[in-house]
Amino acid sequence: MQSMRIVSAARKALKRIVLGPMDFPQQCPIGMRDPQSEVSVWLHGLDAPRDVTHTHLMACAAPFTIGIGLERERNAVINESTRLSLAFHERGEGQRLLGTIGLQLSSVVFVGSQSLCLFRPTSWKNYCLPPPRLWARHLQYAWLRRRDRTPNMPLAAREAHSMFVFYICPRPVVLVSVTDGKASNIFPMNLMGPRGNEYFSFALNSATPATALVERAGRIALSSVPVEQTSVAFELGKNHKKECVDWNQLPFPMTVSSTIGLPVPQFSLRVREMKIEIVRKAGSHMLFVARTLHDECWADGLQFFVVHGIYQAWRQRKLALQTLRPCSS
């Protein structure tokens, strides 16, 4: 028994040496106000850098695809050989560079005078951890993915590491309400982003019943989730595999949206009602472009966001340094 405790302690010590003092999941929930003001995202390669913090999204998980909203005249000068990249910066003092993703154009979706350009990653850099610990984390995550017996989407190492960088930028989580005849559902989503001119883009796994329901219904309501309801949103993740839920069995009170009358949680901070205008298959996901019919703020508070664990470790180190700084003066 004593020898087993010694072995266990040795393993923990080795893990701390290799991975660092913190153990963190790949997906970390945090609370902040929307729109987030912690990280800025800049598109490089089109003359002057362009702020796309609030006009980009993950359009597909496999293959990993990033969508960026641009005016048509900007899109006209982009082709597969154009060298573009996204740079993720800390806001505020220093504007430290946290990571980059190299981009190659794969296709374009036109929406009125706007275009949604879809890019595949060509390279990545992540500066949130020292290189040895970063690669140790990559190996740990790869080992965890191999052990996961649930079906998952195959990702090349470059795609997985680029996705880690992508989630340096905090991503809001909303609940999607949808009804089509007798079928109705509510489930969480975070692959989304505004397109400008009242348009909005989002992506859902094309293999799930919930996605087929959204495509048939053509109208949805997005409810912003207060951080206090994080566990509720996670629990509703199982509804992606359902086409219909029993509203009376939900563990929170419901009301209806203002314009199209969809059921939405009473705890919603903000409710956006949308009409879907474009649906396109994009690898493992279905890409939707919708027009906002009504946008209403119901309450003020911190919203549920997610970031990658590697960036969360950077946030925690920064907070610890800020706490210690007055003591060293």
pLDDT of residue 74: 65
User: What are the CA-CA distances from residue 146 to residues 61, 85, 133, 154, 328 (Å)?
Assistant: 17, 30, 20, 10, 45
Specify the residue for token string 């705890």. Answer: 267
Question: CA nearest 276: which of 220, 209, 192, 210?
Answer: 220
Neighbours of 210 (CB within 10 A): 23
pLDDT of residue 135: 83
Phi, psi (rounded to 5 degrees) for 58: -80, 115
Give the three-class secondary structure for 53. Answer: coil
Structure tokens at 321: 């340094």
Structure tokens at 88: 């993720």
Structure tokens at 256: 């209806």
Quote the CA–CA distance of 276 and 217 in Å, as a whole number: 9
Q: With beta carbons less than 8 A apart as the criterion, state whether 46 and 74 touch.
A: yes
Quote the CA–CA distance of 209 and 225 in Å, as a whole number: 23
Q: With beta carbons less than 8 A apart as the criterion, state whether 61 and 284 touch.
A: yes
Which domains are delineated in the chain?
Answer: 37-169 (2.30.110), 173-298 (2.30.110.10)
Strands (DSSP E) found in the chain: 27-32, 39-44, 50-51, 56-60, 65-71, 84-90, 97-111, 114-126, 171-172, 174-180, 183-189, 192-196, 199-205, 219-224, 254-256, 263-265, 270-282, 285-297, 303-308
Neighbours of 197 (CB within 10 A): 12
Q: With beta carbons less than 8 A apart as the criterion, state whether 57 and 202 touch.
A: yes
pLDDT per residue rounded down to tens, the chain (329 residues): 555 554 444 344 334 444 444 566 788 999 999 999 999 999 999 889 999 999 999 999 999 999 999 887 666 678 778 899 999 999 987 899 999 999 999 999 988 778 899 999 999 999 999 988 888 887 877 777 676 655 556 788 899 999 999 999 999 999 999 999 999 999 999 999 987 778 999 999 999 999 999 999 999 999 999 999 999 999 999 999 998 999 999 999 999 999 999 999 999 999 999 999 999 999 999 999 999 999 999 999 999 999 999 999 999 888 887 777 654 44
Quote the CA–CA distance of 265 and 176 in Å, as a whole number: 10
Q: With beta carbons less than 8 A apart as the criterion, state whether 183 and 244 touch.
A: yes
Angle subtended at Cα 296 by Cα 291 and Cα 299, rounded to the nearest 5 degrees? 145
Q: With beta carbons less than 8 A apart as the criterion, state whether 321 and 94 touch.
A: no
